[in-house]
Structure 1
Amino acid sequence: MKKNILLIGGSYGIGAAIANKLKENNTVYVASRTKKDLPEGIHHLTFDAMENDISELDVPDTIHNLIYCPGSINLKPFKMMSAESFQDDFNLNFLSMVKVVKALLPNLKNAEQASLLFFSTVAVNTGMPFHTSVAASKGAIEGFAKALAAEYAPNFRVNVIAPSLIDTPLSSKLLSNDSKKEKMAERHPLKRVGSVEDIAATAAFLLGDNASWITGQVIGVDGGLSTLNLS
């Protein structure tokens, strides 16, 4: 069945990879600030998750898949972070997502079984220094997703991907040279950082019919970092 798929903030990196993977045999909409790296065949809607109201956009009456991609990597020592920094990360990662989901409830309910996908981080369940703000805001996503999945089952499936470091423009400062890339790769049992294709493949599976009995899950796509200790 051809599906209407809406990505929020999917114009580059992980979002663009997911859009590209799902565009065949589906109608894919990307609501983002710019078109950036979007491939041909994607419907672009100008939208800023922090500023705009998604209900004002011309989205389909029926949305089968919703993916929320906006996020931050704000890595600093806790003593250097202000309360405002925490609030900014929380607004972008979590509250803006909640507003989008709430506004699109009627569209999602029109699908026989809508599938929603959000993004967390390996740092939520694996304590890491300098991750206090991002872990806090992404942790809220995990709790919200499980509660939403329970409340709207069986009409919605809601799942979360919790990646480790992925090679995207958002993480460019952490991977700005070969030495940094090698150091980051060595932290993972599989000895490399993740690619957008790694995440897109998992996303396509979770959103698809082959995952029709999977909901309320947080899936670690992290090169083994969260569960394996090789020391």
Structure 2
Amino acid sequence: MKSKNIVVIGGNSGIGKAITSGLETLGAKVFSYSKSQEGESQLDVTKDFDEIKNLPEVIDGLVYCPGTINLKPFHRFRIADFQNDYNVNVLGAVRVLQACMKGLKKSNSASVVLFSTVAVGVGLGFHSSISSAKGAVEGLAKSLAAEWAANKIRVNVIAPSLTDTPLANQLLSSDDKKEASNKRHPLGRYGKPEDIASAALYLLSDDASWMTGQVLHLDGGMSAIK
């Protein structure tokens, strides 16, 4: 990972922050962007853009972390809710991927990491909007993995379950909620940002040089066992 140029979108908090920290520890050159950062590192993925400022000429890795958690009964969702989730999770990724494509193609072995959710593979009530959007992310990743394989660009997805990030604050806002979340996972606990970051670091590394088009289910066993 040393001296590789890695672009992290949403690297200012939660999973993105843990990934950025891990990359820097391994000696990578990290280019972090998010809506909450200032100056030329500020990036609103919901707005249209053709380029991202100060990208390196060669991009060895790209991680797209922005996401949403919008949970409620289906009849309470408005079309605008679905559109917002799709805009952040899918179209935001598309905008970033298109802006970074030229740099990725200049690398000898580039890696793209996108994020889905356990709710795509496991039917979970109240998740209709986010699971629809993240399902589209998985489809996008597999298509790009096929299309970009000739350019030696790997595209993989991490599909976590509930992870302790600022985005999940309301779901883990009390000891009772935390305990209930622990019990839903076969391994007896919800995720930590470092759990997800470790998987992302692997996918970005040369150790994963023969892996593409995959969805890595990192969910405490929720999607596989009872």
Same fold (TM over 0.5): yes
Within 5 Å, which residues of 2 pair with 1:6-155?
6-24=7-25, 25-35=27-37, 45-51=41-47, 53=49, 55-154=51-150, 155=152
Query: Structure 2: which amino acid aligns with 1:61?
Result: E
Asked whether the 8 Å contact 1:29–1:44 carries over to 2, the reply is no
User: Which consecutive unaligned segments of at least 5 residues does structure 1 have?
Assistant: 37-42
- TM-superposed deviation, 1:56: 4.2
Report the Cα distance in structure 2 between the residues aligned to 1:132 and 1:152, rounded to whole angstroms: 30
What SS class does the counterpart of residue 220 from structure 2 fall into? Answer: coil
Report the Cα distance in structure 2 between the residues aligned to 1:215 and 1:2, rounded to whole angstroms: 22
2:161 maps to what in 1?
164
Percent identity of the aligned residues? 48
| TM-score when normalising by structure 1 | 0.93
- TM-superposed deviation, 1:54: 5.9
1:221 maps to what in 2?
218
Report the Cα distance in structure 2 between the residues aligned to 1:110 and 1:166, rounded to whole angstroms: 34
Moved more, 179-188 or 44-53: 44-53
Report the Cα distance in structure 2 between the residues aligned to 1:73 and 1:26, rounded to whole angstroms: 30
- TM-superposed deviation, 1:52: 5.5
What SS class does the counterpart of residue 92 from structure 2 fall into? Answer: helix
**1:61-96 per-position Cα deviation (integer Å, ceiling 9, x unaligned):** 111000000000000100000111101100010011
Report the Cα distance in structure 2 between the residues aligned to 1:176 and 1:140, rounded to whole angstroms: 29
Asked whether the 8 Å contact 2:48–2:95 carries over to 1, the reply is no
1:39 maps to what in 2?
none
User: Which consecutive unaligned segments of at least 5 residues does structure 2 have?
Assistant: none
Report the Cα distance in structure 2 between the residues aligned to 1:149 and 1:166, rounded to whole angstroms: 26
Q: How many residues in Structure 1 have an aligned counterpart in Structure 2?
A: 223
Report the Cα distance in structure 2 between the residues aligned to 1:187 and 1:44, rounded to whole angstroms: 41
Query: Structure 2: which amino acid aligns with 1:8?
Result: I
Query: Structure 2: which amino acid aligns with 1:95?
Result: L
Report the Cα distance in structure 1 between the residues aligned to 2:52 and 2:37, rounded to whole angstroms: 19
**1:161-188 per-position Cα deviation (integer Å, ceiling 9, x unaligned):** 0000000110000000100000010000
Report the Cα distance in structure 1 between the residues aligned to 2:149 and 2:11, rounded to whole angstroms: 26
What SS class does the counterpart of residue 84 from structure 2 fall into? Answer: helix
What SS class does the counterpart of residue 153 from structure 1 fall into? Answer: helix
Asked whether the 8 Å contact 2:67–2:88 carries over to 1, the reply is yes
Asked whether the 8 Å contact 1:30–1:44 carries over to 2, the reply is no
Report the Cα distance in structure 1 between the residues aligned to 2:10 and 2:45, rounded to whole angstroms: 8
Query: Structure 1: which amino acid aligns with 2:177?
Result: K
The structure whose residues are more often helix, as a share, is 2
